Amino acid sequence: MKDAHFVVQRPTSPAKQLLLLFHGVGDNPVSMGEIGRWFAPAFPDALIVSIGGVEASGAAPGRQWFSVGNISEENRQQRVDAVMPQFIEVVRYWQQQSGISPLATALIGFSQGAIMALEGIKAQPDLASRVIAFNGRYASLPQRVATTNTIHLIHGGDDPVIDLAWAVKAEEAVAALGGDITLDIVEDLGHAIDDRSMALALHHLQYTVPKHYFDEALSGGKPNDDDIIELL
């Protein structure tokens, strides 16, 4: 699986951030890499890698993380759980290869890729500090959240594949548990990413200060310099 990837940007000096991109069903890492190119100018010191799903899907070079054939609310979590060890393995692999800690790692996914990113930090909160989920959802809503994760949901208002209601439920559930989450609705957008979606994602990664920084400040703590350079 580590071979199913496309490096969008590799800085000449040691990387300071790691941005990992995850595509939807039937897509591929090269195609999703085009989304990664939007992030490159804003994060010139970031290693940006687009990751392919673990199995073939449809016509080559399409891939997926899990089959959506006969998918239901009853079996979706089981399918995600079955492939989660491989997902976590590939994130840890790129962190090890780059020398970048989870604090400076962002998982950026679209559709099924967004599901895997959200479920990844649900399974292991220390996997990454940020998630950008374009038109995604949880397989099942979390029962607890970590305050060290910052989640940005960006969803088309007219999405016919993953209804906006799933993003609204996710935002409400995470917020109710004390988590750090934002939801941006892109009007008149279906199951897709457009320039408005990308502008929102870039704004959040560059300017949205994680909630745990405020919590640390209120408690008298202070994030160290390595934290500050994460994704701000």
Give the residue numbers annotated as catalytic, written as ranges: 111, 159, 191
- What is each CA distance from 202 to 36, 64, 125, in whole angstroms? 11, 25, 22
Residue 131 near residue 113, CB atoms below 8 Å: no
Q: Tokens 């040691």: give the residue.
A: 14
* DSSP string covering 145-182: --TT-EEEEEEETT-SSS-HHHHHHHHHHHHHTT-EEE
153, two tokens:
């949901």
Q: Cβ contacts of residue 211 below 8 Å, gap of 6+?
A: 147, 150, 180
Q: Please report, for residues 25, 119, 122, 187, 220, the alpha-carbon distance to residue 65 in angstroms, rounded to integers and kept in the order given.
A: 8, 12, 17, 28, 42
**Cα maximum dimension of the chain:** 55
